[in-house]
Amino acid sequence: MPSDAPFPDEHNHAICMSQALGNAAKLCLQRGVRLTPLRLQVLELVWRSHKPLGAYTILENLQTAQGRRAAPPTVYRALDFLLAQGLIHRIASLNAFIGCLHPEATHVGQFLICEHCGNAIELDTPEITNCIMQRAEILGFVVKSQTIEISGRCAHCQARYAS
């Protein structure tokens, strides 16, 4: 079974997560938008690991104040907010959501997704974007958004669990 540690051992996820949450709070303040308790809770759930999380998984783990179980729109609206603020990304190939590493700037999401441990590694590789933009430009295509999701096996799993 793959370790639950999202990334190699040097990765301290508690720090990783608290930085992300702190950053999110700061950005929302700067932007004058409200990171309400519900939205924060969803963001925390998404940040619990580096594995993209489905909306219904989030729903199941949501603690509503009254102990009453939240309904889907509650989660989807929070996710919509977080997406709009660039605090999370949606992984189309998995119908799932993951915390964004660079929410301060709008950018395209590029992911390496390990089929074995489920972790998604966010890339920030301008070369890939440039290469795509170049090709698009030749064809006169104006790029608005990019979905780049690469599946395979991460170094961690490749080393530990030879296929």
Tell me the two tokens of residue 16.
């990783």
User: CB-wise, 31 or 141, nearer to a copy of itself?
Assistant: 141
Among 7, 47, 81, 111, which residue sits at the site for DNA (rule: CB under 7 A)?
81
What are φ and ψ of residue 122, in 5° steps? -85, 130
Look at residue 98 and give the partner it binds from a copy of itself, DNA, none, a contact being a CB closer than 5 to 8 Å depending on partner kind.
none
Kindly state whether residue 154 participates in binding a copy of itself, applying the rule CB under 8 A.
Answer: yes
* Residue that is written with structure tokens 């793959």 in the block: 2
User: CB-wise, 24 or 91, nearer to a copy of itself?
Assistant: 91
Kindly state whether residue 147 participates in binding a copy of itself, applying the rule CB under 8 A.
Answer: yes
* Residue that is written with structure tokens 């940040």 in the block: 47
19 in helix, strand or coil?
Answer: helix
Is the backbone of residue 33 left (phi > 0), alpha (psi -120 to 50) or beta? beta
Kindly state whether residue 127 participates in binding a copy of itself, applying the rule CB under 8 A.
Answer: yes
Kindly state whether residue 55 participates in binding a copy of itself, applying the rule CB under 8 A.
Answer: no
Kindly list the residues in this chain that would bind DNA in the complex (CB under 7 A).
33-34, 36-39, 54-57, 64-65, 68, 70-74, 76-78, 81, 90, 95
